[in-house]
Amino acid sequence: MVDSKFSRIAAAFAISMVLAGPALAQLRAGQESALDFTLDDLRGAPVTLSDVLADGPVILDFWATWCKPCRKALPRLQKLATQYEGRARVLAISIDDPRSRTKIAPTARSLGITLPVLLDGDKTVASLYRVSSIPTTFLIAADGRIMAVHNGYRDGEIKKLESELNRLLAEGTGP
Amino acid sequence: MTFSPWRPVLAGIGLIALLAGDMAPPAHAAENRVQASNLLLYQVGRDPNTPENDVTRFFDHVQLDYLAGEFRYGLRADLYRTSEAGQVYENITQKYLEWSNRNLDVRVGNAYATIGRGLLFRAFELPGIVREVNTITDSKYADSRDLEGAVVKGRYGRFRIQALTGRPMAYPDNPPGLGFLIRRDGTVSGGHIGVDVGRGVSVGSGYMRADGFVFAGDADRQEYGSFDLALDGSRLAPALSAAGWDVRLYAEYAGRHWTPITDPFSTVDGNPHALYTSAALAYDRWSLTYETKDYRDFSLAFNDPPNLVPELTPSLVNRRSHFLIADDERGHLIGLQGAAWRDWTIHYERADARTGEDPNRLRYRLNYLELAGPPLADTRGSIFLAEGRDDLEALAGHKTIGFSLEQSLPQGFAATGDVEYQQVERPYNEGEPDEVLVSMTVSHAGTGSVSLVWEQSNDPQLTDDPLTLDIETASRRWLGVIVQGSLNDNHEMGIFVGKRRGGTACTSGTCYLVPDFEGVEVRLTSRF
């Protein structure tokens, strides 16, 4: 016996997605603009995304000290940042809550990370970017378009990100 | 309760509709826009600790934001349906209007804020976590412990200012729709001002007033104050920094009905307080951290001070975490992290906590040592050892060992294997029951992964079947398959099939209970 109320709700959900899908799909990666934000770095200095974008494309990586795949991804992102120095920048946004703040700098150091680490303890920016799992990595063109979103980290993911970055740099989207 | 084939069909239609949305041609981005995210969870199965079979559960969590320049208007809604007797609901769980620029954020409605390290106040959420309750009555809900009111955060040169007012979520939070449980309790108002006084020294002070909380006891209104001090050694003594050293110190004290002039930082019994300190010393890729806590009568229902339990990646160790008793707890956390050679890293953590009148008796202890690095080219491995005790989890002791290996394969593939073994000692049982966890994963970059997770335990706390009168002692086993992947730029999907072990789970330092599950679970997260 089908629970009629349950079925009505599920059907209403399905129909609403049919109607809303095409309208919402216009906001696909590549069309969506990155939202500006200001966060403090580990020294307490404010960093604003639009200022960083003025120098070229930016990779935003949301991570936390307790996240195993994040710890695998960060050293590879560091290599990418070194390789593309002057052409693109990587910002590592820690969503560790304020209670874990003491661990952030030591974790970054032990992993050999010299990337700018920004603090989003209240997850305000993570919420703005609708991050529901970590790591989540965004590739943002200098004009603010979000070109790619990577959820999670799997071996080889950074190579894919690198080819997307190369494509973006080849497009020549300048500030 | 019989299983109906219509339910997965209807959910499937919803899923296809979501994917079909991406086939529409993209439009140009507009300055003002709507953005949305959705988390859909669908389960068919059972909790083996309850008699119901073939239970169908559907949970959906949607967030819509309208952005217009510096303004953002947001709405969140949760919907829950279950085929068994449960607390079904559809609620608008959040509404907010936010205005922000470089120096100021103003949010009215449901908001998040932390004062200092959370000693006085912390309103937060665990994004992507769906909490489940099967004990009082069946329910699922998003974990969002927000403040319903207004929050203002400002930064002006050397100053950081925060002000807030509103009704916090009762802590620990309760599922929505449960009329007989208080979900929001009383009101709070307060704030914090911090100033960088120069040369790496920052000071701050907080104030909080709480009205109408049922826990308050002796007075309807409670007042709290706090003071914090942060020292950045590299700015305080540039010679240290030039030599490659980094030293940072932080201390925060909070008290109820605090009189800082006459009784500045008292930690004596009978004086409700919370004191947290931390020190970090780093050189090259090595760092040593030391944190302390001293909390007395400071469970305020809306605060969340550091529990000083390290967040660790092995499942069997992280499951043995503990819940903070802010009314009576003192302890330490020492951490050492470093790079030994090439890309090999060492990680050591030592945590302890005391409670009660006997200051020499540890009620919580954890020692953890991990070595991780590349044993071969294209291979990454780690090995760890852990031991400890946790009275709140009824654990007189536990010893754990485990290793992990990840091998890169051609064409973007990788294979990972994890093995963990744990012996536990229960205070009321002879012998040392053990637990084993084995997981194997094959992944492909940009596509997804398939994992097989197998667990076994002969812990008497887990072997007994509560649905029978007998006391079962045979080992329990859990076997599950997890498939995860990106469907396209907008949708991530995860499918679980099999048996999943419940118990304590911890995310970002916050622990909660997860019920056992047997069946099929589909989870779809979307962002538009």
Q: What is the pLDDT of residues A89-124, one digit of tens each?
A: 999 999 998 888 999 999 999 899 999 999 998 888
Of the candidates B112, B235, B445, the beta carbon closest to that of A159 is on B445
Q: What is the pLDDT of residues B460-495, one digit of tens each?
A: 878 777 777 777 778 899 999 999 998 887 889 999
Q: What is the pLDDT of residues B76-96, one digit of tens each?
A: 999 998 887 777 888 899 999
SS3 B387: strand
Q: What is the DSSP letter of B20?
A: H
Q: Which of B68-72, B150-154, B427-431 has the lowest mean pLDDT?
A: B427-431
Q: Is A55 on the interface with B (CB under 8 A)?
A: no
Is B313 domain-assigned? no
Is B211 domain-assigned? yes
Residue B101 tokens, joined: 């620029």
pLDDT at A18 over 50: no
Is B269 domain-assigned? yes
Exposed, middle or buried by CB within 10 Å (0-12, 13-18, 19+), for A171?
exposed
Which residues 56-85 of A have a C-beta within 8 angstroms of B? Answer: 64-68, 71-72, 75
CB B160 within 8 A of CB B152: no
SS3 A18: helix
Q: From chain B, pick out residues whose CB is under 8 angstroms from the CB of A150.
A: 446
pLDDT at B9 over 50: no
ipTM score of the complex? 0.85
CB contact under 8 A, A22 and B21: yes
Burial B104-121 (b: 16+ CB within 10 A, else e): ebbbebbbbbbbbbbbbb
Give which of A2, A4, A13, A47 to mutate to test B binding, by max B Cβ within 10 Å.
A13
A31-171 has which CATH code? 3.40.30.10
What are the residue ranges of helices labelled H in B312-445? 315-318
* pLDDT, average across residues B32-40: 90
Interface size between A and B, measured as CB pairs under 8 A: 256
CB B112 within 8 A of CB A126: no
CA atoms of B67 and A34, how far apart (whole Å): 12
**Percent above pLDDT 90 for chain B:** 50
Q: What is the pLDDT of residues B208-265, one digit of tens each?
A: 999 987 655 556 888 999 999 999 988 888 898 889 899 999 999 999 988 887 778 8
Closest residue in chain B to residue A39, using alpha carbons only = B102
Please give, rounded to a whole number of angstroms, the shortest distance from the CA of B58 to a CA of chain A.
8
User: What is the average pLDDT value for chain B, to the nearest integer?
Assistant: 86
Is B441 domain-assigned? no
Please give, rounded to a whole number of angstroms, the shortest distance from the CA of B277 to a CA of chain A.
10
For residue B159, the model assigns a pLDDT of 94
Q: Which structural domain, as residue segments, surrounds residue B112?
A: 101-306
pLDDT-based confidence at residue B333 (cuts at 50, 70, 90):
very high
Please give, rounded to a whole number of angstroms, the shortest distance from the CA of A123 to a CA of chain B.
8
Residue A145 tokens, joined: 């378009």
For residue B12, the model assigns a pLDDT of 45
CA atoms of A99 and B508, how far apart (whole Å): 9
CA atoms of A10 and B130, how far apart (whole Å): 19
Q: Which amino acid is at B86?
A: G
Is B291 domain-assigned? yes
Is B483 domain-assigned? no
Residue whose token pair is 């706090």: B226
Please give, rounded to a whole number of angstroms, the shortest distance from the CA of A22 to a CA of chain B.
4
Please give, rounded to a whole number of angstroms, the shortest distance from the CA of B476 to a CA of chain A.
28
Closest residue in chain B to residue A121, using alpha carbons only = B114
Total of domains in chain B:
1
For residue A7, the model assigns a pLDDT of 52
Q: Which of B6-20, B93-107, B144-158 has the lowest mean pLDDT?
A: B6-20
CA atoms of B111 and B98, how far apart (whole Å): 9
* pLDDT, average across residues B53-72: 90
Q: From chain B, pick out residues whose CB is under 8 angstroms from the CB of A1.
A: 2, 4
Q: Where are the domains of chain A?
A: 31-171
pLDDT at A175 over 60: no
Which residues 3-22 of A have a C-beta within 8 angstroms of B? Answer: 3, 5-7, 9-11, 13-15, 17-18, 20-22
For residue B471, the model assigns a pLDDT of 78
Of the candidates A30, A96, A122, the beta carbon closest to that of B112 is on A122
Is B116 domain-assigned? yes
Residue whose token pair is 């874990």: A100
pLDDT at B23 over 50: no
CB contact under 8 A, A102 and B81: no
Is B336 domain-assigned? no
Other C-beta atoms within 10 Å of B371: how many?
Answer: 16
Residue whose token pair is 């006391």: B471
